Structure 1
Amino acid sequence: MKIELQRALSDEDLLQYPCDCLVVGIAAEEGGASQTLLTSIDQASDGLLARLRSERELPRKAGQTLLLHAVAGVAARRLLLVGLQDVGTDDAIRFQKAARAAAAAIMGSRAVSIAWMVGNTSDRLMLSVLALQEADYRCDHYRKVEENPLERTACLFTATDDVSTQRRVAEAVAIAHGVALARDLGNAPANVCTPTYLGDAAKALAQHSACEVEVLGREEIGKLGMGAFLAVARGSAEPPQLIVVNYRGGQDGSAPIALVGKGVTFDSGGISIKPAEAMDEMKYDMGGAASVLGALHACVELKLPINVVGVIAACENMPGGNALKPGDVIRSLSGKTIEVLNTDAEGRLILCDALTYVQQRFSPALTIDLATLTGACVVALGNVHSGLYANDDTLATQLMAAGTKVGDRAWRMPLDDDYQEQLKSSIADVANLGGRTGGSITAACFLSRFVEGKWAHMDIAGTAWKGGANKGGTGRPVSLLAQFLVDAAAPV
């Protein structure tokens, strides 16, 4: 979808604006652009809106919409009314719900040219862009499509088209592109999106002069001493890849922000094999890697003045004659030994080596790892919030604030030392499993042993994809991550 930004027109001009769909919000407050426009529409249509209001058919709450065709006095072929009466000025979540409902209604029609009069502040315009781009996303690469998709254009009307508003919309478009990339990677079947495929996707970023990409294979990974990573990979015929993307948009010598992603392109569970039901969804176990690449894509598009390094440990977790076994003891890059109690707790094994690597090589200012790590996080938070763990309060606050801005929410979880007791091993430095209780917390505690300095871990097992009838990658938490980087790059 093409996004355009235009200074708001007069009510009379909007009534005569030629488009397929005019979208107008119905807010609670009197006055304002939407309210005066609604009055003009009502007058031009001989009291249509008043009749709908008296019959209680006008949408009121966020998520409610009404699509009208051929409204008298309105040049647009369709008029879409969107409920905003329960949406407060700073209520990003409810506004996002309304914007998504409006975008879905548009996509359910044949409208191609859209005039958008739903919130004209820069923050609401950003959420509108994200909602429109999300609804317009299609994954049609792997099936025969009978007709070409509609090429839609949305014109967003704003009270002011100053530089800051233009920049905010540009940021939203770039973030949406990063989300789409992550969704494409997640939705790709595991026989397509292999570790090598992820490496090639990263190399595409190297076309930008400020971006360098290295992809290391099995032998090079072995020479580095990444024993935990290779232990997970050895059951699969697919070669593992350590993918390093170094974006240098900031000052030379400035410590980078490090993003570390879990890239298990298919997770069978290994010897501790998963149940067959819904195992196809384990192609999404590279959601952390996809999020790193999506966030870096936004960085590149916006040319952010910041240094960011992305490190992805990519492999499959498969059973086989050479596969890792329960009870094995392996040595990580850090030198710590790990007793493997369950081979399906593999994400933390590849991440611990990736975390050690990024700190040894890049000495980052802070580190954020992203992983579809535990089913326990899904039980705790469902698919609404991503689980957020951090050893620094300021970092946690910044990440949560970034998520709120773009409607990509996270919830901070505990990281108390008391949980570390569950990871004791009788024969190694640490066990890779802490038992059934607090499973997402003990997984984060495991990772905390392999980091120094500011660090955050995001467990996105419940948010990176949706199952069931609407199965597909969501691209979360690219929006949160990219907004965090935008905020970090902003001048103080």
Structure 2
Amino acid sequence: MEFIVKNARPETLKTATLVVPVGEGGALGASAKAIDSASAGAISALLKRGDLAGKLGQTLLIHSLPALKAERVLLVGIGKDSELTDRQLRKVASAIYSNLKTLAGSDAVLALDELQVKGRDSYSKTRLLVEILADAGYCFDRFKSTKAEAISLKKLTLLAGKANLADVERASQHAQAIVNGMSLTKDLGNLPPNICHPIFLAEQAKALGKAFKGLKVEVLDEKKIKELGMGSFYAVGQGSAQPPRLIVMQYNGGKKSQKPYALVGKGITFDTGGISLKPGAGMDEMKYDMGGAASVFGTLRAVLELQLPINLVCVLACAENMPSGTASRPGDIVTTLSGQTVEILNTDAEGRLVLCDALTYTERFKPQAVIDIATLTGACIVALGSHTSGLLGNNDELIGQLLKAGQQADDRAWQLPLFDEYQEQLDSPFADIANIGGPKAGTITAACFLSRFAKKFNWAHLDIAGTAWISGGKDKGATGRPVPLLTQYLLDRSQA
């Protein structure tokens, strides 16, 4: 869908549908008043008659209002509050899209510039609105014999005042790049695991490198992974017929002297649990265990589209965790790239085993900050549910920047503690470290494990086990998170 920004009086515009907000009790803003005046009080008459109460998310479609060039006007209720919350804005935007997608006509004009959203200026309000509307049109029907019916809507025009026209245009551009990144993340996550395996992800990285100039792509195969001494990473993939791949993508949009930011993604393209086999119920959703890697793909795509003036390195540890005669076993001890040894007590705690070697590998780029993203622990879903990502790390400034970015992007994270006391749960009598820390504080001990491989840089860990996809039922599917959070963090760094 195309989004354009225009400064114009709404009552003068020719369009298939003109969208105007109305407050509860019939309160009219400037746009609604102008349209009401041009149409000789037609809107006021409808509201007085009780056709629309103006409650949040209510809509009323009016055809052929006199003296207007718009074919129809869609009134949308915004409630009684003078300022909307982010969640209320989402409800208003969803109501608008639900109506527009059912109508004929290829365009619509949104006279929503006067909406006030708590804690948001014109830029951030518009960006969130465009993200919601653009993302609402996502559909994954690649494997359906009958495709979803195409909607007529192709263009949305956002009205803005002269004073904030530049901010609204910038917001629209950023939002569309973020949604394009989210769509890539969703597509990769929703693909079946017989198609989306480590070699396939490596091919997608190379395709991204061809599509965007300035992206350097390197793929390390299983032989190179083993030769480098990434024994932990190699152990996870050794039970599968699909060989592991380490994917490295470098974007240099900043000065040569600038140290890069690094994103490290867990890319377990299917997780059976290995020898520590998972229960069968819901195992199909373990194709989403590469959600961390998918979100790095999506964030990088957004950065490439916006050509941000930063340097960024993305390291993806991709493997398939399968049980077989060659699979690693509980009790095995492996040597990581860092030289530390790990006793594998549970082969279903495999994400940290691939990430630890990826984190050590990332040291060579001398990054100024490293963020790893992983669908790492079911314990994170127990702690935070499916609304909030878990966040831990070794640098308070970096943690604060990510929390702020999540708030700004409405893609929130919540910090969990990383106290030294938790480290003791990972003690092993046979190796330097065990790969699990028992039933208590599973999300924290998983991060404690990773922290031992992140001592040479500022590091944060995002556990997206609860937020990367919607589980079960007809609405099952990848969410595209945390692409908005990560892109916002990099936008903030590019503007610092």
| Fold match by TM threshold 0.5 | yes
The alpha carbon displacement at 1:77 in A equals: 4.3
Could you say if the C-alpha distance between residues 238 and 342 of structure 1 is closer, same or farther in structure 2, counting changes exceeding 3 Å?
A: same
Q: Could you tell me how far apart the structure 1 residues matched to 2:250 and 2:173 are?
A: 23
Identify the residue that residue 373 of structure 1 maps to in structure 2: 376
Identify the residue that residue 483 of structure 1 maps to in structure 2: 488
Q: Does 1:107 align with 2:107?
A: no
Does the Cα contact within 8 Å between 1:58 and 1:66 map onto a contact in 2? no
Q: Could you tell me how far apart the structure 2 residues matched to 1:298 and 1:122 are?
A: 17
Identify the residue that residue 142 of structure 1 maps to in structure 2: 143
Q: What SS class does the counterpart of residue 326 from structure 2 fall into? A: coil
Q: Can you list the C-alpha shifts for 1:68-121, whole angstroms capped at 9, x where unaligned?
A: 242533554443333333666584343234323432343354553121123462
The alpha carbon displacement at 1:445 in A equals: 1.1
Q: Does 1:329 align with 2:333?
A: yes
What is the identity, as a one-letter code, of the residue corresponding to 2:179?
A
Does the Cα contact within 8 Å between 2:248 and 2:315 map onto a contact in 1? yes
Identify the residue that residue 47 of structure 1 maps to in structure 2: 44
Could you say if the C-alpha distance between residues 77 and 144 of structure 1 is closer, same or farther in structure 2, counting changes exceeding 3 Å?
A: farther
Identify the residue that residue 132 of structure 2 maps to in structure 1: 131
1:278 to 255, 263, 282: 282
Task: State which drifts further: 415-424 or 340-349.
Answer: 415-424
Identify the residue that residue 422 of structure 1 maps to in structure 2: 425
Q: Any unmatched runs of 5+ in structure 2? A: 115-121
Q: Could you tell me how far apart the structure 1 residues matched to 2:38 and 2:196 are?
A: 50
Q: Could you tell me how far apart the structure 1 residues matched to 2:38 and 2:343 are?
A: 69
The alpha carbon displacement at 1:22 in A equals: 2.1
Identify the residue that residue 351 of structure 1 maps to in structure 2: 355
Identify the residue that residue 472 of structure 1 maps to in structure 2: 477
Q: Could you tell me how far apart the structure 1 residues matched to 2:257 and 2:369 are?
A: 15
Q: Could you tell me how far apart the structure 2 residues matched to 1:134 and 1:167 are?
A: 18
The alpha carbon displacement at 1:426 in A equals: 1.5
Q: Does 1:176 align with 2:171?
A: no
Could you say if the C-alpha distance between residues 397 and 32 of structure 1 is closer, same or farther in structure 2, counting changes exceeding 3 Å?
A: farther
Q: CA RMSD in A?
A: 2.2
Could you say if the C-alpha distance between residues 145 and 349 of structure 1 is closer, same or farther in structure 2, counting changes exceeding 3 Å?
A: same
Q: Does 1:3 align with 2:7?
A: no
Q: Could you tell me how far apart the structure 1 residues matched to 2:261 and 2:177 are?
A: 19
Does the Cα contact within 8 Å between 1:228 and 1:330 map onto a contact in 2? yes
The alpha carbon displacement at 1:326 in A equals: 1.1
Q: Could you tell me how far apart the structure 2 residues matched to 1:416 and 1:88 are?
A: 43
The alpha carbon displacement at 1:163 in A equals: 3.4
Q: Could you tell me how far apart the structure 1 residues matched to 2:419 and 2:382 are?
A: 20
Task: State which drifts further: 100-109 or 245-254.
Answer: 100-109
Q: Any unmatched runs of 5+ in structure 1? A: none
Could you say if the C-alpha distance between residues 69 and 90 of structure 1 is closer, same or farther in structure 2, counting changes exceeding 3 Å?
A: closer
What is the identity, as a one-letter code, of the residue corresponding to 1:24?
V
What is the identity, as a one-letter code, of the residue corresponding to 1:481?
L
Q: Does 1:58 align with 2:59?
A: no
Q: What SS class does the counterpart of residue 47 from structure 1 fall into? A: helix
Q: Could you tell me how far apart the structure 2 residues matched to 1:130 and 1:243 are?
A: 29
Identify the residue that residue 111 of structure 2 maps to in structure 1: 117
Does the Cα contact within 8 Å between 2:247 and 2:316 map onto a contact in 1? yes
The alpha carbon displacement at 1:37 in A equals: 4.3
Q: Could you tell me how far apart the structure 2 residues matched to 1:416 and 1:68 are?
A: 56
Q: Could you tell me how far apart the structure 1 residues matched to 2:234 and 2:80 are?
A: 53
Identify the residue that residue 18 of structure 1 maps to in structure 2: 15
Task: State which drifts further: 41-50 or 110-119.
Answer: 41-50
Does the Cα contact within 8 Å between 2:292 and 2:464 map onto a contact in 1? yes
1:269 to 273, 291, 298: 273
The alpha carbon displacement at 1:222 in A equals: 0.8
Could you say if the C-alpha distance between residues 184 and 78 of structure 1 is closer, same or farther in structure 2, counting changes exceeding 3 Å?
A: farther
Does the Cα contact within 8 Å between 2:252 and 2:312 map onto a contact in 1? yes
Q: Could you tell me how far apart the structure 2 residues matched to 1:41 and 1:381 are?
A: 51
Q: Could you tell me how far apart the structure 1 residues matched to 2:248 and 2:30 are?
A: 48
Instruction: Map 1:66-465 to 2 at 5 A.
Output: 66-70=59-63, 72-73=65-66, 75-85=69-79, 89=83, 91-110=85-104, 112-119=106-113, 121-146=122-147, 149-150=150-151, 152-160=154-162, 162-207=165-210, 208-359=212-363, 361-452=364-455, 453-465=457-469
Task: State which drifts further: 272-281 or 257-266.
Answer: 272-281
Does the Cα contact within 8 Å between 2:249 and 2:313 map onto a contact in 1? yes
Could you say if the C-alpha distance between residues 43 and 172 of structure 1 is closer, same or farther in structure 2, counting changes exceeding 3 Å?
A: same
Q: Could you tell me how far apart the structure 2 residues matched to 1:430 and 1:395 are?
A: 26
Q: Could you tell me how far apart the structure 2 residues matched to 1:81 and 1:422 are?
A: 58
2:30 to 30, 33, 40: 33
Q: Can you list the C-alpha shifts for 1:326-379, whole angstroms capped at 9, x where unaligned?
A: 1111111111111111111100100000001001x1010000000001111111
Does the Cα contact within 8 Å between 2:181 and 2:301 map onto a contact in 1? yes
Task: State which drifts further: 298-307 or 420-429.
Answer: 420-429
Q: Could you tell me how far apart the structure 2 residues matched to 1:177 and 1:87 are?
A: 32
What is the identity, as a one-letter code, of the residue corresponding to 1:138?
C
What is the identity, as a one-letter code, of the residue corresponding to 1:288?
G
Task: State which drifts further: 64-73 or 132-141.
Answer: 64-73
Could you say if the C-alpha distance between residues 81 and 47 of structure 1 is closer, same or farther in structure 2, counting changes exceeding 3 Å?
A: closer
What count of residue pairs does the alignment treat as equivalent?
A: 482
Could you say if the C-alpha distance between residues 67 and 432 of structure 1 is closer, same or farther in structure 2, counting changes exceeding 3 Å?
A: farther
The alpha carbon displacement at 1:394 in A equals: 1.7
Could you say if the C-alpha distance between residues 436 and 32 of structure 1 is closer, same or farther in structure 2, counting changes exceeding 3 Å?
A: same
Does the Cα contact within 8 Å between 2:267 and 2:293 map onto a contact in 1? yes
Calculate percent identity across the aligned residue pairs: 46
Does the Cα contact within 8 Å between 1:373 and 1:460 map onto a contact in 2? yes
What is the identity, as a one-letter code, of the residue corresponding to 1:4?
I
